Amino acid sequence: MSWKSKGLEPNSKSVVTKKWALLLCIGCFCAGMLFSDRMWAVPEADDKGVSRETGAKEEGLKLITEGCDPMRKDVKREPKDILGEVSKTHHAIQTLDKTISNLEMELAAARAAQESIINGSPISDDLKIPESTGKRKYLMVVGINTAFSSRKRRDSVRATWMPQGEERKKLEEEKGIIMRFVIGHSATSGGILDRAIEAEDRKHGDFLRLEHVEGYLELSAKTKAYFATAAALWDADFYVKVDDDVHVNIATLGATLARHRSKPRVYIGCMKSGPVLAQKGVRYHEPEYWKFGEEGNKYFRHATGQLYAISKDLASYISINQHVLHKYANEDVSLGSWFIGLDVDHIDDRRLCCGTTDCEWKAQAGNICVASFDWTCSGICKSVERMKEVHRRCGEGKNALWSAAF
């Protein structure tokens, strides 16, 4: 049967359609291959990303694990290195602490000086030192405790171990040593006693007048006033208190104190711990004996009152807290009590309390004493008559002071 009879005769349009269909199939196949390649590439990239992420986590865990391992070679340190680092750190902390402490003390001293100016100078106007002098650094201020009735004692000191006139000024300028007789005022201000001291000071110029009323039972208050006033007037490494019936070798004292310059909060003297005397009427009776425990107890360690020295920071501490520091009957006990509870270096130096009988052979042996006196008299017995003798036997020699280097 022919195509026509069946009604299926192909025409040109159907032939063309078949060709285009074939081309479309081929194009779809190619597009499918291309699309298939892309689809497989994306999972591969994701797998790599996951692999990298997983690898990073594993590497981090590895680092943490290895960091905790004390046997790891690259972080292992020798014990000596660790101790060295600890030692350096400790030294740095100590240095910083000392620097802070010194700054605090300097600030406290400045405040004390400011308060003295605001509240009124602790000395009379004609005895004020120039501001330029107060800015200079000194080795020590030696305050010689004296009384209105001790004119002859002062003259015996001036004639022996205390330089006078131009020599005293030279001592301040070249050696950085200030020396003054320390005294307050009488109960009747401007009376005959005060006028006598003023006349003596005009002659010698060697007094430090305090805002303090003199009296034997007021020695603790006088000690506070002295350190507070001296710290406000002179910037020194040490402040010394000595009685006017004690012989002192100034060069030896300066050399002794200079060895402790680098130490903070220094308290130097002949340390003792005597009994607390509860019985009334006896010398050195302590009215507040009950504070020291049962009768028969001893005092805490403190320097004997004939001569002692404290560093600048302790003098500043007294100056700041003078209104709340308690005063006992004996001034050396009071001073020692003010340092209880503080980090203070108590230095016991027996050369500060030689006897007048042994200072001579010690000097001959080359072990010159800083201070000499008789324990039985709490000073040199009959010092007015014997000071020159003690100075001749126990003195360090006039040239020792001027040749000394502190």
Ordered DSSP codes for 281-295: TSTT--TTGGGGSST
Q: Are 203 and 104 in contact (CB under 8 A)?
A: no
- In the structure, what pLDDT confidence band is assigned to residue 70 with cuts at 50, 70 and 90? very low
| Average pLDDT estimate for 118-145 | 63
The rounded distance, in Å, linking the Cα atoms of 340 and 155 is 37
Query: Lowest mean pLDDT: which of 5-9, 22-26, 109-113?
Result: 5-9
Residue 87 phi, psi dihedral angles, 5° rounding: -65, -40
224 pLDDT more than 70: yes
pLDDT digits (tens, 9 = 90+) for 45-56: 444 444 555 554
pLDDT at 316: 97
pLDDT digits (tens, 9 = 90+) for 382-398: 999 999 999 999 999 88
| Average pLDDT estimate for 351-365 | 94
Query: Lowest mean pLDDT: which of 77-91, 247-261, 325-339, 341-355?
Result: 77-91
| Average pLDDT estimate for 92-100 | 64
pLDDT digits (tens, 9 = 90+) for 162-219: 999 999 999 999 999 999 999 999 998 889 999 999 999 999 999 999 999 998 889 9
Q: Average pLDDT over the chain, rounded to whole?
A: 82
pLDDT digits (tens, 9 = 90+) for 254-282: 999 999 999 999 999 999 999 999 989 88
Tell me, yes or no, if the pTM score tops 0.75: no
> What residue ranges define each of the domains in the chain, with the CATH number in brackets?
137-270+303-403 (3.90.550.10)
Kindly state the tokens that stand for 269. Answer: 């003297």
Q: Are 277 and 289 in contact (CB under 8 A)?
A: yes
| DSSP3 helix / strand / coil % (the chain, rounded to 5) | 55, 15, 30
pLDDT at 216: 81
pLDDT at 131: 44
291 pLDDT more than 50: yes
| Average pLDDT estimate for 72-94 | 61
